[in-house]
Structure 1
Amino acid sequence: MINRKLAPDFKAIENIKLIKPEHKKLDNGCNVYCFNSGDQELVRIEWIFNNLRFDAAKPLLNMAVNTMLTEGTSTLSASEIADKVDFYGAFLQVDYGYENSLVTLYSLNKHLHHTLPVILDILTNSVFPEKELETFKRNQQQKLQVSLQKNDVVARRDFNKAIYGETIYGLSASFDNYKSLQREDLQAHFKQMYQPGNCTVIIAGKIESDTLTLIKETFDKSWTNGPVAADTSQPELKPAAELFYFVEKPDALQSAIRIGLPVVNRNHPDFQPLQVLNTVFGGYFGSRLMANIREDKGYTYGIGSGLNSFKQGGAFFIATEVGADVCKAAIGEIEKELELLKTELVPEEELSLVRNFMLGSLLGSLENVFSHADKFKSIYFAGLDYDYYDRYATTVKTTTAVELRDLANKYLNFDQFYKVIVGKY
């Protein structure tokens, strides 16, 4: 019998094993990665496309094209696509990111011969009907109108533009951008971007022997590359010269604060120790920012810091909403906590807690085969290999308080921070 009055023994995480994929390449140039694991007769198949080069004159094309893929093809209407997928108990979704756009299908293996042709039709014959496009534009404008009433949304938009400039990472949508969307532009963008040579397929789940054969039969010969290859290069990041931005809202009860600066991305050797430093500072509920500004001062319900990593670069940021009357005081406390990182060593007890949290979070995120596939995507599209996760575990375990202090002095100069405040100051 288990004595429930005694806490279980604490055990340190020694190593983390990741499922690695099998790689195949179709004749049309499409790369396929397979994660075969699990007992349920279910697979998740993702068709992932690199976004085309960002055009500041038409900033919404990548997002609009991906979002509208399921709105109709030359043979199926939006409702017919949904009915075909639902009939077989499958689930279809499209997702847009700064660097990649995804089409994801969850399906039982036994129904793939019915569901895969629907995906092929979407990837080759989407037509972006004019009626659905007008509905999309109207709905997105309404969502934007609501979003712009939120101080934190405005702060994030202004911060991203200051850090990343007029790039896919920095330029947010305007009402006029939606008005100017033209069906002809969407169709041209679709033909160049959604080609097999610009696609990576990732399959995760219980992959049966005939699954890959079915994928090959469905997509290899029937899906061909067009005459123009996808241009997936991106403009260079150009941070703004101005460091301070204040959007006044006289009636605001809370002020949104978003501050930070450009730093290295995950390809740089300093990125992983910076993740440790960020976790100490504001990367989890027990962080210093939470302890000071939420628990001690009561200025906010929540505050945190984070690291963004993109192909072009990265950024360190701090985000919160505080009472409008304590905005200046909150920023002062943030600066004080940064200075402490630069002048005092993190106590070993605190550092040990952070190490356990980070390793436990990584281990906890690997709950099923889909999670392992997601970890692969993070390194694959960054041009890294599985050594990244081995280094991550080692870095978390071995980074010292002295190294964290040196990193804080190297990267976190508060005078160089971009500071965005929306509300009262």
Structure 2
Amino acid sequence: MTFRTAAEIGRTEKGPRPLPELGDQRSATGLTSVDTVLDNGLRVIAVHQPTVPMAEVRLRIPFAGTDRRHSAIAEVLAATILTGTQRRDRVAMDTDLALVGGELGAGVDPERLAMGGNALASGLDTLLDVLADALTGAAYRDEEVEGERARLVERIAVARSQPSVIAREALQRHRYGDHPFTRETPEAADVATVTADEVRAMHRESVLPRGSVLVFVGDIAPDTVIAKIGAALAGWSSDKSAVELPDLPDVVGGDVLFVPRPGAVQSQLRLSAQAIRRTDPRYPALQLANLTYGGFFSSRLVENIREDKGYTYHARSSLEFTVRGATLLVDADTASEVTAPALLEMRYELGRLGAVPPTAEEVDTVRQYAIGSLLISTASQTGLASQLAALAPLGLGTDWLVEHPDRLAQVTAEQIAEAAREFFSPTRFTGVVVGDGAQLPALRSLGGVVE
């Protein structure tokens, strides 16, 4: 039997075989959902998506704090909340979850304590029971706190030596000063002093249902899920509300701050500007303008400083969201000798996006990419649950997700051009460059860079 290669299959006697037209992109329609608030103040979004017999759960608890040691205690809490309760030790929690094909995890940032996991749909009762047990009875045994605390100190020490972490912290301080949002990675010295009593006290004061959101996506009817969640979490209650992060100041355009890192062979370039929330009518146009500039592999920025000039392997722009705001981020890592040219080209592409609007071909490409990416990300229970968990703190739900492809489809080329002129003007951006100043003499000649 003779087999044809892929190259042979892709060609005919007349030349390359033409690609078929893209099929219609189908939105996640027909989802059955319930969005309600329980008696304890917990908002619950339950969505029936019967693609596989699984249950996905995402819990987001506002978890802000202004104390300098808040982030250190919060990191230890997130690392130990699932290590045992009054009813179960760590092994019993893991075993009960494993018996229903389940898992649970926890993490924290300056805004939220996040807990999430999944199980077979038939094991939802067990998954909820373990979650409720952790929320109401986490023990934070001394030995567990000590062990996780030591591991966190080691991980933080390693993280703080990474160029990406150094650049992120420098950008956060440059944008927001001493705002609690900047404390994404606590000081290792602060973590080392956290006690089990402090963690237990933070749990009592801050792990609260009122103002929190729980998202369920899976192969169970929403009304049934709401009843099960209400019963399982009936013992989790408080008159107080979870603490939201204070409003962030707007990012103001201006000079780029140079942050010295002697001996570095690469530089980290990070630019940022104020943006708008997903609820703003201009957001779909901004989303497509961002994709055109640097939001995916075929963007103008990538074509320029990666494909054409070879200044970097990785360059991108993205939107970063908080509950009450959003920012544009542009980042690239370059060799020291091309840092100044790369920054020049990043600024050039910002200005060109407003001066030379996206072509019809570019608009069609980014629109297809945006719609297709959204539909792919929400096609699975895992992806849909994560998307809804990100939207829920904004007061949004399944309707927004279902309707957003249509909003993207209706954006005109002129609206994208207008968003480019409004949001991508170089004067709106500030940022940081982290690198070895001795190797960057040309950087100062660009102007707009201060130390």
Q: State the TM-score, normalized to the length of structure 1.
A: 0.88
Kept in 2, the 8 Å contact 1:52–1:62? The answer is: no
Mark the CA change 1:319 to 1:71 in structure 2 (over 3 Å): closer, same or farther. same
Q: Deviations over 1:104-125 (max 9, x none)?
A: 2422244444443322221111
Partner of 1:191 in structure 2? 204
Q: How does 1:315-354 map to 2 (within 5 A)?
A: 315-354=327-366
Contact 2:208 2:242 in 1 (8 A): no
Q: CA-to-partner distance for each residue in 1:329-361, whole Å, 9 max, x for gaps?
A: 000011111111121122111211111111111
- Asked whether the 8 Å contact 2:284–2:411 carries over to 1, the reply is no
1:23 and 2:41 aligned? no
Q: Quote the residue 1:50 is aligned against.
A: 62
Select which of 145, 156, 181 maps to 1:169: 181
Residues 35-77 of structure 1: CA distance to partner in whole angstroms, max 9, x if unpaired?
2231643212333322244434523344432332112223332
Q: C-alpha displacement at 1:6, in angstroms? A: 5.2
Q: Secondary structure at the match of 2:277?
A: coil
Match of 1:218 in 2: 232
How far apart are residue 280 of structure 1 and its match? 0.1
Q: Are the structure 2 counterparts of residues 125 and 370 from structure 1 closer, same or farther at C-alpha, using a change threshold of 3 Å?
A: same
Q: How many residues align?
A: 420
| Gap change, CA 1:407 and 1:39, over 3 Å in 2 | closer
CA distance in 2, matches of 1:202, 1:68: 22
Q: Distance in 1 between matches of 2:180 and 2:229?
A: 32
Q: For 1:60, what is the secondary structure of its paired residue? A: helix
Does 2:147 match 1:135? Answer: yes
Distance 1:366 1:18 in 2: 13
Aligned residue for 1:55, secondary structure, equals: coil
Q: With structure 2 as the length reference, what TM-score do the two structures score?
A: 0.83
Q: 1:322 to 1:86 in 2, by over 3 A?
A: same
Distance (Å, rounded) in 2 between the aligned partners of 1:386 and 1:113: 24
Q: For residues 165 and 382 of structure 1, do their structure 2 counterparts lie closer, same or farther at Cα, with a shift above 3 Å needed? A: farther
Match of 1:407 among 385, 409, 419: 419
**Cα deviations by residue, 1:215-246 (Å, 9 ceiling, x for unpaired):** 443332xx1423x5034232232368884332
The aligned amino acid for 1:205 is G
AA paired with 1:237? L
Identify which of 181, 199, 205 aligns with 2:194. 181
Report 1:192-341 matches (<5 A): 192-207=205-220, 212-220=226-234, 223-226=235-238, 228-238=239-249, 243-341=255-353
Which residue of the other structure, out of 63, 80, 89, is the alignment partner of 1:77? 89
What is the CA-CA distance between 1:294 and the residue it aligns to? 0.4
For residue 374 of structure 2, what is the amino acid of its counterpart?
L
For the pair 1:149 / 2:161, whether they are aligned, the reply is: yes
State the alpha-carbon separation in 1 of the partners of residues 102 and 396 from structure 2.
Answer: 32
Distance 1:314 1:294, change over 3 A: same
The 1-side partners of 2:93 and 2:267 are apart by: 44
- Tell which deviates more after alignment, 313-322 or 172-181: 172-181
* 1:217 alignment partner, SS class: helix
- The match for 1:37 among 35, 38, 49 is 49
Q: 1:6 to 1:419 in 2, by over 3 A?
A: closer
Q: How far apart in 1 are the matches of 2:336 and 2:363?
A: 33
Alpha-carbon distance in 2 for matches of 1:94, 1:53 = 18
Q: Is the 8 A contact 1:109 1:211 kept in 2?
A: no
Gaps of 5+ in 2: 1-8, 11-16, 441-451
Return the alpha-carbon distance in structure 1 between the equivalents of residues 388 and 375 of structure 2: 14
> 1:21: how far off?
1.5
**Structure 1 residue 81 displacement after superposition:** 2.0
Cα drift, residue 15 of structure 1: 5.4
Contact 1:293–1:300 (CA under 8 A) maintained in structure 2: yes
Shift of 1:301: 0.7
Q: In structure 2, how many angstroms separate the alpha carbons of the residues matched to 1:271 and 1:315?
A: 12
1:379 CA drift (Å): 2.9
- 1:256: how far off? 1.0
Q: Which moved more, 1:283-292 or 1:151-160?
A: 151-160
**3-state SS of the aligned residue for 2:394?**
coil
CA distance in 2, matches of 1:311, 1:211: 27
How big is the alpha-carbon RMSD for the aligned residues of Structure 1 and Structure 2?
Answer: 2.8
| Greater CA drift, 234-243 or 174-183 | 234-243
More displaced 10-residue stretch of structure 1: 329-338 or 167-176: 167-176
Please report how far the alpha carbon of residue 389 of structure 1 lies from its aligned counterpart in structure 2 after TM superposition: 4.1
SS state at 1:197 partner:
coil
Indicate how the Cα distance of structure 1 residues 416 and 56 shifts in structure 2: closer, same or farther if over 3 A, else same: farther
- Quote the residue 1:104 is aligned against: 116
Measure the CA separation in 2 of the matches of 1:376 and 1:115. 19
Corresponding residue for residue 158 of structure 1: 170
1:16 and 1:240 mapped to 2: Cα distance? Answer: 35
Amino acid paired to 2:277 = N
